[in-house]
Structure 1
Amino acid sequence: MQAYRAALADKDGNPGLLIIDMGEKLFKTPAGPKNVSLEKCDFGLGPGVLKGAYAQMPRYMPDTDRVEDLETRLLHCMVTLQGKDPAEIKKHRFANEAKNESNTDWEKIVAYVAYQSDGMKLSMPTAHPKEREAIKIGEINYFRNVGPLDFSCATCHGETGKRIRLQALFNGLDPQQARDVMGAWPTYRVSHNAMRTMQHRMWDCHWQMRLPDIDMGSPRTVALIAFLMHQADGVKLDLPGMRR
């Protein structure tokens, strides 16, 4: 396992770089009923500014009056700028590993936008009350037991040394372990043959807890991401990540 993990650390051999290139093309290509690109999308640093934007998300967005992560904001831009139907976007948000599907356009674009913060330090803003509120709500939900298994996020990710089979589980309450994970996401999952986003991670964890499909960009997912990003504050982003 150690040799396997060492091999994954070689970024030059990361297939995620190809997915990022595809995402750049999609990002800059006019699409949707309005036939415009996403190049004027404002991820919090101004329209069209991508450099460093992901490193400062989730963040409060005045035009929507809510805290948004990268994917929630991307959805907003696809709807407002391109005129796309949010329900249709959500139908094709994640590649189905059971069907050996390749990455969706959504995952490619998310990977591209996030990559523009590669090498920068993660620093989620906390100046606005709603940003601090999101972190607190995320922390509460991290410990909240739900579903038929009576699980919380902390059930698997609240102690050091836990594992499922050969997979070690990170402790999100340990800042260093949180940095190791959050600093390398979005990540290329070798076992999925696909790039995976943080909203996919939220969806997958909820599915494994035997909960109904959670809506992409729901307040719960954004709050959980805000909490984990805050836990990982200061980490230097190493994107794209690569995991088993």
Structure 2
Amino acid sequence: MHPSRTICAGLLGLAIAGSAGAQSTADEIAKYRAMLADGNPAELVEAQGEALWATKRGPKQASLEACDLGKGPGVVAGAYAELPRYFKDTGKVMDAEARLVHCMVTLQGLERADIVKKPFSEQGERATDMEALAAYVSAASRGMKIMIPQKHAEEKAAFERGKQAFYYRAGPYDFACASCHSKDSQRIRLQDLPNLQQAAAAQGAFASWPAYRVSQGALRTMQWRMADCFRQQRFPQLDYNSQAAIDLITYLGVKASGGTMAAPGLKR
């Protein structure tokens, strides 16, 4: 056989072996998730959040049971599946985490700077209050349809800004969110990357956040997911509850509308 053909055949064999190996690993990861699904460690964080929701705290010694997440004061069931949305009392589009911060400030008298100083736990630490509350609130929408509203002008504007952010290329690698999430069959290391332009993929991705990350031993929120994507693109740090974060979540949520909430999910 001609040397060039031998080399090509060898490379083809390596490519096939690599593809088969990656697929095998992905299958094993899927099996692992399935085994843990009935005992998702996120349930412990949900319980922590449920207790926080009913605990009287802060200078006003109030609970969050009067917090309006968009479906009326104290109504938690189904609220997460319809967030982000426009809130008349703030004149802003807010996601679940931004709204929880608002309620902690207005109802309990807590200082916003103290709440957002460290919204995410480090690996091995107990879940933060924000992570716990996000787990509790999202779990109350499990099995419900994702219906991110687009009626108010501010909701539509948030979607359009989020779309622009999704496709915006910048940074040392000239990356955008779309670089990883607008094509089929893409992968980073062993992680399959969903094509968020496809309804089914967008629904599956949005519906499973917040999620417990086995590799980190921690529950991670949707705001954390946005910030970590920015980090991987080598963008400037995404501020917690920033307009950019909420706009991106709005865009992804609208793309996922019609899906069924399954959060907190389980990730590698």
Which of the five TM-score ranges fits, normalised by the shorter chain?
A: over 0.9
Query: Cα deviation per residue 1:122-167 (whole Å; 9 max; x = unaligned)?
Result: 0011111111111111111100112233211111112111111111
- Residue 169 (structure 1) aligns with: 193
Structure 1 residue matching 2:227: 3-state secondary structure = helix
The yes-or-no answer on 1:71 pairing with 2:97 is yes
The C-alpha deviation readout for 1:171-230, integer Å capped at 9, x for no partner, is 111111111111111111101101110000011111112222211111111111011011
Corresponding residue for residue 39 of structure 1: 65
Shift of the 85–146 alpha-carbon distance from structure 1 to 2, 3 Å rule, reads: farther
Paired with 1:208 and 1:166, the residues of 2 have a C-alpha distance of 16
Q: With structure 2 as the length reference, what TM-score do the two structures score?
A: 0.87
Distance 1:213 1:36 in 2: 33
Say whether residues 1:196 and 2:220 are aligned partners: yes
Secondary structure of the corresponding residue to residue 38 of structure 2: helix
User: Counterpart of 2:30?
Assistant: 5
Contact 1:52 1:116 in 2 (8 A): yes
CA-to-partner distance for each residue in 1:63-115, whole Å, 9 max, x for gaps? 01111100011111111111111111112200122xx3232121011100111
Letter of the 1:51 partner, please give it: A
SS of the residue 2:46 aligns to: helix
Where structure 2 has 5 or more consecutive residues not aligned to the other structure, the ranges are: 1-25
Query: What is the CA–CA distance in structure 1 between the aligned matches of 2:67 and 2:170, rounded to whole Å?
Result: 36
Number of aligned residue pairs: give it.
242
For structure 1, the residue ranges without an aligned partner over 5 or more in a row are none
| Higher RCO structure (Cα 8 Å, ≥6 apart) | 1
Match for residue 214 of structure 1? 238
User: Which residue does the alignment assign to 1:23?
Assistant: 49
Question: Does residue 227 of structure 2 align to residue 186 of structure 1?
Answer: no
Q: Which amino acid aligns with 2:99?
A: R
Residue 59 of structure 1 corresponds to 85
Structural mapping, 1:123-138, within 5 Å: 123-138=147-162
Q: CA deviation at 1:3?
A: 3.1
Distance 2:201 2:78 in 1: 22
- Is 1:237 the equivalent of 2:254? no
CA distance in 2: counterparts of 1:151 and 1:11, whole angstroms? 33
Please say which structure displays the higher CA radius of gyration.
Answer: 2
Divergent runs of 4+, >6 A: none
- Equivalents in 2 of 1:31, 1:159: separation in Å? 47
Q: Distance in 1 between matches of 2:189 and 2:170?
A: 23
Q: Which residue pairs with 2:75 in the alignment? A: 49
What one-letter code is carried by the residue in structure 1 that aligns with 2:176?
A: S
Structure-2 residue corresponding to 1:96: 122
Greater percentage in helix: 2
Residue 158 (structure 1) aligns with: 182
Rounded to whole Å, the distance in 2 between the matches of 1:188 and 1:114 is 13
8 Å CA contact 1:102, 1:193 repeated in 2: no
